[in-house]
């Protein structure tokens, strides 16, 4: 069976993909990984960056003797996959991204960072604060938010993947976006789609940004159809 690696988003964890993995594990050799500081993986002292997370994925592939894999990347996970396709194309066979934010500038980053204030989350959505604490234990979820905010600020100052970079990504790609996603725009997704030489585009109906609210029936349909 072909290797399929599922990559979580910022402040997410591999545990979010358990139901999806169960739907796919009869047809693919599924790999779930956590990036540093996520899902209980020890927190790195290094600054978070797309290059750092890409390096962790490449290390995982080396350790598990995976010469090439298909990748499904949700949100930031899709950006990491694109970074590898740009810089290490021999490592990726095909890519599916879902709800990946490609456009970053200072205004966009500042808006997203506002959503990562730990005190505000504790006061306004304590259930989410508890979820983050449990999801990332024993790592400190507040430090995770701080380091993620630094990552987004850095992307806003200097986007890791420039618009023209996608022209050289020849890996077959399927860009998926929910029609109710309020964090990722159709315009930015279309802009990258038009730059990619070998890309397809799909819209998931009735779908917001949060992965837990994605209808797995639609997502599995796209994954099986594109990767088989």
228 — pLDDT class (breaks 50, 70, 90): confident
Radius of gyration of the chain measured on its C-alpha atoms: 17
Q: Where are the beta strands (DSSP E) in the chain?
A: 3-7, 29-32, 69-74, 92-98, 173-178, 199-204
* C-alpha torsion sign, points 53, 57, 59, 63: positive
Q: Are strands 69-74 and 29-32 parallel, antiparallel or unpaired?
A: unpaired
Mean pLDDT to the nearest integer, 132-141: 95
Q: What is the tens place of the pLDDT at every residue in 68-106? A: 999 999 999 999 999 999 999 999 999 999 999 999 999
Containing H/E element for 157?
helix 141-157
Closest CA to 201 of 182, 213, 215, 184: 184
Q: What domains can you pick out in the chain, each with its CATH number?
A: 3-103+161-227 (3.40.50.1820)
Residue 223, pLDDT > 90, answer: yes
21 — pLDDT class (breaks 50, 70, 90): very high
Mean pLDDT to the nearest integer, 161-187: 97
Q: What is the pLDDT of residue 36?
A: 97
Cis amide bond preceding 138, omega within 30: yes
């Amino acid at each position: 069976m072909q290797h399929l690696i599922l990559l979580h988003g910022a402040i997410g964890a591999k545990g979010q993909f358990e139901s999806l993995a169960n739907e796919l594990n009869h047809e693919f050799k599924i790999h779930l990984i956590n990036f540093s500081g996520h899902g209980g993986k020890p927190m790195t002292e290094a600054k978070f960056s797309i290059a750092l997370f890409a390096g962790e994925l490449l290390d995982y592939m080396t350790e598990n003797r995976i010469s090439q894999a298909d990748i499904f990347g949700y949100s930031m996970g899709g950006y990491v996959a694109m970074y590898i396709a740009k810089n290490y194309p021999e490592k990726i066979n095909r890519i599916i991204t879902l709800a990946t934010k490609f456009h970053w500038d200072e205004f966009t980053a500042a808006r997203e960072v506002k959503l990562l204030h730990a005190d505000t989350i504790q006061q306004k959505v304590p259930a989410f604060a508890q979820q983050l604490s449990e999801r990332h234990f024993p790592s400190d979820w507040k430090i995770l938010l701080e380091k993620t905010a630094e990552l987004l600020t850095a992307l806003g100052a200097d986007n890791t993947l420039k618009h023209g970079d996608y022209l050289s990504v020849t890996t077959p790609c399927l860009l998926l976006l929910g029609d109710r996603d309020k964090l990722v725009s159709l315009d930015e997704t279309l802009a990258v789609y038009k730059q990619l030489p070998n890309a397809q585009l799909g819209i998931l109906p009735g779908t917001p940004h949060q992965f837990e609210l994605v209808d797995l029936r639609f997502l599995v349909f796209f994954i099986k159809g594109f990767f088989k």
